[in-house]
A and B are shown apart, each in its own frame.
Chain A
């Protein structure tokens, strides 16, 4: 066995430039794969977050009294399909605005509660019930405007799909390039050792003895590339993790922890080794006749 490992390392060393090309292309592919998986996870968490926020906000006309609004709230709370109906009075809306923009005095000049409508934030137990709620309040004469967050969520969903699926398409293309690079590298190793291989066959070397080093060579490329990609990812997350969290203003979108990185690390190594093995196997079928 140690001869097979030794020969695999020798093959990689002899074709050092090919080895470098393979490792760089594979590392880049794996790194991008990790990035897009992470973007996918962040998008998913953000969507979950958005879906748990107020799903419909009903803004009432200025002429609508607080009593009328509270009556609507009571009716909603009696409805078993409604999870929550939260009332925001004109005063509260003003206070919220002031606290959100306390560092921007220009925005707060000559503000009165009259410009803020009173509202009800409504959440349903099942998202499918929301269109009925929306319809009901759109027809209500007390209501100024109904904002249905489904549109916001859908827009975000579409946007994140474009990023994730576009990214994955790019990754698939890169993985294909990686596979072809490994295939050609192993092919060139086989070509260089053609004479040795023909002697090996005639002196009775087992098929595994001949094939093993080439298979292992591909596994080695994939594994090294996965390790490099994972190290770069870990360093990036360590340095940028907090900045990313700040970007989302405290929304818990990025749940990356060390366990996550360890799991991704092992999955990537297995995936890298498998991809290398697959490419080597293809090269052996294509270039090595025993």
Chain B
């Protein structure tokens, strides 16, 4: 599903975000990407949606070399991948329904389709009763669930969650993780970058640890317990 081959990423200011990353994530996998801030987790995820291109090496998503994609093909790639952010990136001026509908609007779905699909996903994330609420009227956990509903409406093959529990309380965190686990059980590949060792340790899924841009650990059913000193200081 996702394949990194000898990927290096160096930014214009000289920062080496990723170094010689080789990684394969198979369909239906649930993978935690752990590592300290600045380790390269976000760059890794941004490469998957072609927000960045590798300086060298190749990144394949669902069989496509992302660097070789033409501009007109990038939106199609992004519809296959749902992206969830730490800061939600909800539109403040739109209510819950409209935030989710927005995802469908931009890909040209009709109003009838939107009216049919959106409530289904809001129900799935437990927000049907908040359908008319604006983001500022929702708690952190509810905002993140709304962001998940927005990411799910395209029925993506992959969900990328970038520190998606970083700004919410422990009980909401657990709800989010259960939700992502449920989505994974339906066959969606989930890649979650996180600092939250409780979540990683409870789920016992595959863990990929990145340090200074390099993959230093890749365990099929791992725990947070970092090998690298920078990551261990977070525990």
CB within 8 Å of B: which residues of A? Answer: 3, 195-196, 198-207, 209, 290
Contact = CB atoms under 8 A, between A and B. Distances in A.
A207 B49 CA distance: 15
9 smallest A-B Cβ distances: which pairs?
A205-B106, A204-B79, A204-B78, A203-B103, A204-B75, A206-B75, A202-B83, A200-B106, A209-B106
16 contacts: A195-B91, A199-B89, A201-B78, A202-B49, A202-B83, A203-B103, A203-B106, A203-B107, A204-B77, A204-B79, A204-B107, A205-B75, A207-B75, A209-B106, A209-B107, A209-B108
A262 to B, nearest CB: 37
Interface-central residue, A196, A199, A209, by most chain B CB under 10 Å: A199
B154 interface: yes
A3 B105 contact: yes
Interface of B: 49, 51, 71-72, 74-79, 83, 89, 91, 102-103, 105-108, 150-151, 154
Contacts of B107: 203-206, 209
A211 to B, nearest CB: 11
A203 B49 contact: no
B154 A203 contact: yes
Contacts, number: 51
Interface of B is mostly: helix
B76 A204 contact: yes
Nearest to B92: A195
Contacts of B89: 195, 198-199, 202
Question: Which of A3, A196, A200, A204 gathers the greatest number of chain B CB atoms within 10 Å?
Answer: A204
A203 B78 contact: yes
B102 A199 contact: yes
Contacts of A201: 78
Given A198-B89, A203-B151, A204-B79, 17 more contacts: A3-B105, A200-B102, A202-B51, A202-B78, A202-B89, A203-B78, A203-B102, A203-B103, A203-B106, A203-B107, A203-B150, A204-B76, A204-B77, A204-B78, A205-B75, A290-B71, A290-B74
A195 B105 CA distance: 16
A3 B98 CA distance: 14
A198 B102 CA distance: 12
Nearest to A209: B106
A187 to B, nearest CB: 21
B78 A207 contact: no
Contacts of A205: 75, 106-107
Contacts of A200: 102, 106
A203 B102 CA distance: 9
Nearest to B151: A203
B47 to A, nearest CB: 14
Best-surrounded residue of B75, B76, B78, B151 (most CB of chain A within 10 A):
B75
Nearest to B85: A202
A198 to B, nearest CB: 7
Nearest to B78: A204
A203 B83 CA distance: 8
Indicate the member of A195, A201, A202, A206 with the most B CB atoms within 10 Å.
Answer: A202
A192 to B, nearest CB: 11
A207 B71 contact: yes
Contacts of B83: 202
A9 to B, nearest CB: 16
Contacts of B76: 204
B71 A196 contact: no
Nearest to B80: A204
Contacts of B75: 204-207
Nearest to A203: B103
Contacts of B51: 202
Contacts of A206: 72, 75, 106-108
B49 A196 contact: no
A175 B155 CA distance: 48
B79 A199 contact: no
Nearest to A196: B91
B146 to A, nearest CB: 12
A201 B154 CA distance: 14
A201 B46 CA distance: 12
Nearest to A200: B106
A198 B78 CA distance: 12
A290 B72 CA distance: 10
